[in-house]
Chains A and B, each alone.
Chain A
Amino acid sequence: MFSVYKKELQSFFYTPFAYALTALFMLLFSYIFANAIAKLETTNRLMFSFTEIFYDVIIFFIFLIPIITMRTFADERKLGTEVLLMSSPLNVAKIVLGKFFANATVFLFMIAGSVLFPIVTEKNGEVVISQLICAYIGFFSWGLMFIALGMLISSFTENSITAAIIGEIVMFADLFLDDFSRTAFISQYPKLQSVLLSFAAQPRFAYFSQGFIRLSDLVFFGSAIIVLLSWTYISIERRRWNRG
């Protein structure tokens, strides 16, 4: 598993890929941060929980995370290297986990730079640290879930661009699932509404960003990751069986 992890990291960090992605993320983050500062009403002191910022940043996740995950399995298949992995003593579960951890590491690297903003704010004002930490935990869990989702989508196709686009669509749908389920139309069917709401990640993130760590939310993200990774495993095995 470690070999796969290392190889994946090499493919991100020995190429400009991870750096370019991080630069893009920082650019977006700075833009949102600057906007948020400008909108601030208090004149003498900066008091900041970064909640709003993270809310806005989540939207960009939808574009950034599929870029991390799109190549995961699609490229292996395209290059014919899937054969190498499958005919080696590694089992598929280890391959999936190795790749997941590598993607998670790149994601962590990407968001690590954003810590700079609270530090700067703290120097010149005040940051609600507890909320910030909670928001980061929520931010990271959500990211991991989207990574697992992106990997699953990448295992469906041979084309990484297709994987990225489908990933964006699905993640977008998930982001607005709670808005959608609160529409008047869905409200007519309370059972359907509650089912839809239970799949929505947005309200769960809201708790994190307000400084709550609820066990149920952690379980939600954790189980979503496990389900999606298992599904990825099944999808790869299934493709081998049905190939042709």
Chain B
Amino acid sequence: MITIENLTKYYGKNRAVNNISFTINDNEILGFLGPNGAGKSTTMNMIAGYLPMTSGKVTIFGHDITRDATNAKLELGYLPEIPPVYPDMKVTEYLSFCAGIKRIPRGKRKDEINRVMELLKITDVKGKLIRNLSKGYRQRVGFAQALLGDPKFIILDEPTVGLDPNQVVEVRKLIKSLKKDHTVIFSSHILSEVSEVCDRVVIINKGDIRAIDTIENLESTFSDSLSLHIKIKGSKSKAASIIETTEGVKEILSIDDEGNDIYSFVVQLSGDAEEIQDKLMADLLGSQIRIVEIFTEKPNLENVFIDLINRPVKKERLEDLLNEIVPETDSADDSAEDDEDEEKEDI
């Protein structure tokens, strides 16, 4: 299990990641979702032990990434946002270098390199200079590097960016297959990808966690706020009064005049959408109002996502609120951990 506790990162006075905590269970694919600049890569870099955190703790299968770095790093494979490849090296040279720094025993290196090249389907370019490879191939070479040595924990920062649709499908399939005996955290700003591949998602924006849940739960949380679209031909005021008084209608969100006596209403519902829709249709027809169009809009994940990331974060403590206005200059926490982190910073 991987635990992330109260992870915070300041770049100078700018806060990139604010006190986030979550856990990744064994054999789980966790999606890490957020718009660009949300703090995804910073968090990934901290989990992988590349960037030191301002405060907080990352534990990878019981090894602290800062205190027990070597053991923790032996357990992980990391594909950063920009594939970390040397353009002047051939693919096999590069992979054998990576195998070396990952401490794969000399005798096993060749088989291991062949295995990951098979997995990522890059065997056909193994003798080529990385400089001459296309973006998609480079991405896959970087991915192959992350899988070398079969680490239990795999961090993938936007692994499908730059791949063509065919390769995207293949890479997604590969990520899914990793689930059998790996733990994966996988960041993306593409929703459909996350919903297809991941068991749970963490949604992050501006350094704050907005939600941690399964895709299904996220969708169902928002399903009670369905909206109904009705387009009618006839009297606007009459229709409005009927709609308003129908049971189950919360409020009319908007009325648009589309000309020729056609009006379209967007109505927010509470309760069983089908029942309300039937009732509304009967009432409206009864009052000689023609219905041109009627449908209820389900909240898709896209809407959930947009809603979540734009929702203001509740401040639990007054200090947090103050921090938002005046970024804290030095941590007032007296815990030993923080002190040590700061000492390192002073070097």
**B86, A85: Cβ atoms closer than 8 Å:** no
Nearest 8 interchain pairs by C-beta: A244-B11, A3-B100, A84-B84, A80-B82, A87-B48, A88-B101, A81-B84, A86-B50
Complex contacts, B51 vs chain A, CB 8 Å: 240, 243
A60 shortest CB reach to chain B, Å: 26
> Within 8 Å of chain B (Cβ to Cβ): is A195?
no
Number of residues in A with C-beta < 8 Å to the partner?
A: 30
> Within 8 Å of chain A (Cβ to Cβ): is B45?
yes
> Within 8 Å of chain A (Cβ to Cβ): is B186?
no
Contacting chain B: which of A5-13, A115-123, A145-153, A199-207? A5-13
28 residue pairs of the A-B complex, CB under 8 angstroms, read A3-B97, A3-B100, A3-B101, A7-B89, A7-B100, A10-B89, A79-B84, A79-B85, A80-B82, A80-B84, A83-B45, A83-B80, A84-B78, A84-B80, A84-B98, A86-B49, A86-B50, A87-B50, A87-B78, A89-B69, A89-B73, A89-B103, A91-B69, A91-B70, A234-B347, A241-B52, A244-B11, A244-B16
Query: A residues within 8 Å of B by Cβ?
Result: 2-4, 6-7, 10-11, 14-15, 79-91, 234, 237-238, 240-244
Instruction: State A86–B44 Cα separation when bound (angstroms).
Output: 13
Central interface residue in A11, A87, A244, by most chain B CB within 10 Å: A87
Complex contacts, A4 vs chain B, CB 8 Å: 101
| Residue of B16, B50, B87 touching A83 (CB-CB under 8 A) | B50
Instruction: State A87–B74 Cα separation when bound (angstroms).
Output: 9
| Residue of B84, B89, B102, B344 touching A89 (CB-CB under 8 A) | B102
**B80, A6: Cβ atoms closer than 8 Å:** no
**B345, A11: Cβ atoms closer than 8 Å:** no
B88 shortest CB reach to chain A, Å: 6
Instruction: State A90–B97 Cα separation when bound (angstroms).
Output: 12
Complex contacts, A88 vs chain B, CB 8 Å: 73, 98, 101-102
Complex contacts, B12 vs chain A, CB 8 Å: 242, 244
Complex contacts, A15 vs chain B, CB 8 Å: 88
| Residue of A81, A89, A243 touching B86 (CB-CB under 8 A) | A81
A83 shortest CB reach to chain B, Å: 5
Instruction: State A85–B85 Cα separation when bound (angstroms).
Output: 11
Central interface residue in B50, B74, B89, by most chain A CB within 10 Å: B50
Instruction: State A53–B331 Cα separation when bound (angstroms).
Output: 59
**B70, A84: Cβ atoms closer than 8 Å:** no
B157 shortest CB reach to chain A, Å: 10
Instruction: State A6–B97 Cα separation when bound (angstroms).
Output: 8
Complex contacts, A89 vs chain B, CB 8 Å: 69-70, 73-74, 101-103
Instruction: State A238–B78 Cα separation when bound (angstroms).
Output: 22
Complex contacts, A80 vs chain B, CB 8 Å: 80, 82-84
Central interface residue in A10, A80, A88, by most chain B CB within 10 Å: A88
Complex contacts, B112 vs chain A, CB 8 Å: none
Task: Encode B56-90 as 1/0 by CB contact (under 8 A) with A.
Answer: 00000000000001100110101010111111110
Task: Encode B279-297 as 1/0 by CB contact (under 8 A) with A.
Answer: 0000000000000000000
Instruction: State A242–B345 Cα separation when bound (angstroms).
Output: 8
Complex contacts, A83 vs chain B, CB 8 Å: 45, 48, 50, 78, 80, 84
Complex contacts, A3 vs chain B, CB 8 Å: 97, 100-101
B140 shortest CB reach to chain A, Å: 15
Instruction: State A83–B125 Cα separation when bound (angstroms).
Output: 24
> Within 8 Å of chain A (Cβ to Cβ): is B43?
no
B222 shortest CB reach to chain A, Å: 35
